[in-house]
């Protein structure tokens, strides 16, 4: 007999017990996103820097003629950038409704199924920051479950289909204050 998986209400996107997440890290901070929100995992490409933008907005990528923001979640949370971005890094392209955003990943940990017991501190995570839905504890470690809708809104940039090729910069971007 198959038991119906229990639904855990997380903001407007329910995560079912047994659903899968993608775990990744940026600057030694572990994150996870529901797998249904992940559209692609791409190699880091040359990005267009936006002068005057927040440090966590690494730049814009051209994805099939659409400019998409790429962010470093660790910097957005106040962790200083200690490592250079390299071609070995990845962009986790996520989607919520019509919004798309790239999240920088220095390491892809893998895909895991989550149980209701592994989803912890939901109200604490939401109270700490609207960017988080919960803390996930698995045998592989603890990660922060991102709310893709709020992450995309926090950037303040919508996607813009302009059809123009973006100017490239070197992805080996030095950490803030590095020479």
* Neighbouring C-beta atoms of residue 84, cutoff 10 Å: 13
d(CA 1, CA 17) in angstroms, rounded, equals: 17
pTM over 0.85: no
pLDDT single digits (tens) 21-51: 999 999 888 999 999 999 999 999 999 999 9
d(CA 16, CA 3) in angstroms, rounded, equals: 13
pLDDT single digits (tens) 57-87: 999 999 999 899 999 999 988 888 888 889 9
Both tokens of residue 12?
A: 């407007």
d(CA 178, CA 113) in angstroms, rounded, equals: 39
Mean pLDDT of the chain: 77
Topology annotation, domain 29-109+124-156? OB fold (Dihydrolipoamide Acetyltransferase, E2P) (2.40.50)
């Amino acid at each position: 007999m198959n038991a119906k998986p229990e639904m855990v209400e997380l903001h407007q996107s329910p995560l079912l017990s047994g659903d899968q997440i993608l775990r990744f890290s940026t600057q030694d901070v572990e994150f996870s996103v529901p797998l249904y929100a992940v559209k692609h995992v791409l190699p880091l490409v040359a990005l267009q820097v936006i002068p005057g933008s927040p440090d966590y907005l690494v730049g814009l990528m051209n994805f099939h003629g659409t400019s998409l923001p790429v962010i470093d979640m660790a910097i957005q949370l106040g962790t200083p950038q200690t490592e250079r971005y390299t071609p070995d890094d990845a962009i986790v392209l996520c989607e919520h409704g019509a919004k798309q955003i790239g999240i920088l990943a220095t390491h892809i940990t893998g895909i895991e199924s989550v149980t209701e017991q592994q989803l912890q501190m939901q109200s604490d995570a939401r109270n700490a920051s609207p960017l988080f839905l919960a803390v996930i504890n698995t045998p592989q470690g603890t990660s922060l479950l991102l709310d893709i809708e709020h992450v995309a809104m926090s950037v303040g940039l919508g996607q813009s289909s302009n059809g123009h090729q973006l100017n490239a910069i070197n992805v080996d971007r030095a950490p803030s204050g590095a020479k």
